[in-house]
A = this chain, B = another copy of it.
Amino acid sequence: MKELMKEIRQFTEDRDWDQFHNGKDLALALSIEASELNEAFLWKDAKDVKIEKVKEELADVFNYAFLIADKYDLDVREIVMAKLAKNAEKYPVDKARGKSDKYTDL
The count of residues in chain A whose C-beta lies closer than 8 Å to any C-beta of chain B is: 70
Q: Is the CB of B54 within 8 A of A23?
A: yes
Interfacial chain B residues near A88, Cβ < 8 Å: 11
Q: Is the CB of B42 within 8 A of A80?
A: no
Q: Is the CB of A42 within 8 A of B63?
A: no
Interfacial chain B residues near A25, Cβ < 8 Å: 42-43
* Alpha-carbon gap, A43 to B67, bound state (A): 15
Tell me how far the C-beta of A10 lies from the nearest C-beta in chain B, rounded to whole angstroms: 9
Extra A-B contacts (12), CB below 8 Å, given A15-B98, A32-B38, A62-B80: A8-B80, A11-B84, A15-B91, A16-B97, A29-B106, A34-B34, A42-B104, A54-B74, A56-B83, A59-B79, A59-B80, A62-B65
